[in-house]
Amino acid sequence: MKTCSYFIVFIGLMLGLSSCQEKIEYPIIPYLDFQDFVFLAGEDSVVNKGQLIFYFTDGDGDIGLDENDTLPPYDFNLFIDYYERQDGNWTQLVLSQTGDTINFNGRIPILTPGGKNKSISGTIEYTLDLNIFSEFDTFRYEAYLIDRALHESNRVITPALVRP
């Protein structure tokens, strides 16, 4: 079962550099760096969402999917696996009825900047649902990004997080 997030917001995206600035170049393979995780409370003051915050770079700017890209391998481009600490071990949850793992895969829209310099960097804030019914309260995420050329970024793992 694939559990998708409700919102993807991009902040601080530097889509281009002016001609008077030094050209910044990054490798064409996307790079992802975990920055933070923030618990979010709803109107009822109950924490039911979380926000993963990543920094990213991409040398050729081919991050993102068009809204018409819906078939594999272009159905998702941000992959987030969910793990719980169970009896001292990190365990990826599997739904017993289907055998599918619980994940929070999502779609990032096209971010390719105009102009000659396609190198981009920025911050991804990805909001996801925390309503996973479990007796275990400690969890973490493993995430990676895939660009349109199907280059896979490095994998990042959050520190251990504890449900409030």
Domains and CATH numbers, the chain: 7-162 (2.60.40)
DSSP bridge partners of 37: 52
Q: What is the pLDDT of residues 24-63, one digit of tens each?
A: 889 999 999 999 999 998 888 888 899 999 999 999 999 9
**φ/ψ of residue 144, rounded to 5:** -155, 165
The pLDDT of residue 22: 65
The least confident of 18-22, 70-74, 146-150 is 18-22
Note if the bond before 73 is cis, omega within 30 degrees: yes
Q: Nearest CA to 124 among 47, 15, 33, 45? A: 33
Q: Is the pLDDT of residue 13 over 50?
A: no
* pLDDT of res. 21: 54
Condensed to tens digits (0 to 9), the pLDDT of residues 65-116 reads 999 999 999 999 999 999 999 999 999 988 778 888 889 999 999 988 888 8
